A and B are shown apart, each in its own frame.
Chain A
Amino acid sequence: DAGVIQSPRHEVTEMGQEVTLRCKPISGHDYLFWYRQTMMRGLELLIYFNNNVPIDDSGMPEDRFSAKMPNASFSTLKIQPSEPRDSAVYFCASSPPIFVPAPSGANVLTFGAGSRLTVL
């Protein structure tokens, strides 16, 4: 398996533009998470899905942010309009059902490489 695949790896855009980040989770993982990481705030959970259904979007900063998961192999995080304070690294992660800890470590959260967003 190629792991969690994110695109683009880097995005530089101007304030007011729409940004779309994409994620392909690991096949068979039921959960998909979107995180944002900044120096000031660390890793923050934005939203997560279970079986393509959004479960908790309380971490989404405001209405400018939206996320979709149209099928089990694809998710998008959209920012419209973007602002300089949205500059961060956005990580997508996926996991199998996480209520059963697996000491081997196999059933844990796996991150994509991240999308570094810079809004000028």
Chain B
Amino acid sequence: EDQVTQSPEALRLQEGESSSLNCSYTVSGLRGLFWYRQDPGKGPEFLFTLYSAGEEKEKERLKATLTKKESFLHITAPKPEDSATYLCAVKSNTGKLIFGQGTTLQVKP
């Protein structure tokens, strides 16, 4: 069964304190791994797509990496505006997106 597990569920950081969010997955035929950011009361906003192990994508303070079993979202020197819930999803050979529960990040000034 296709499954996505994100950890930790919640993360509190001080401004400037770098850390990583984890997304572990089991899927039949990975056709892409996606990271989204979701602010409270809003729809998810697309961040990255990764397709193969070893691939990396960067955007400002965020960097996503992919292995055969998991993905990491590294946050370097976060700012309070990076506070949000970060969602990971995988697309299997069924064509559907399977989402994890999300990691809620709070960055304190």
A is bound by B: no
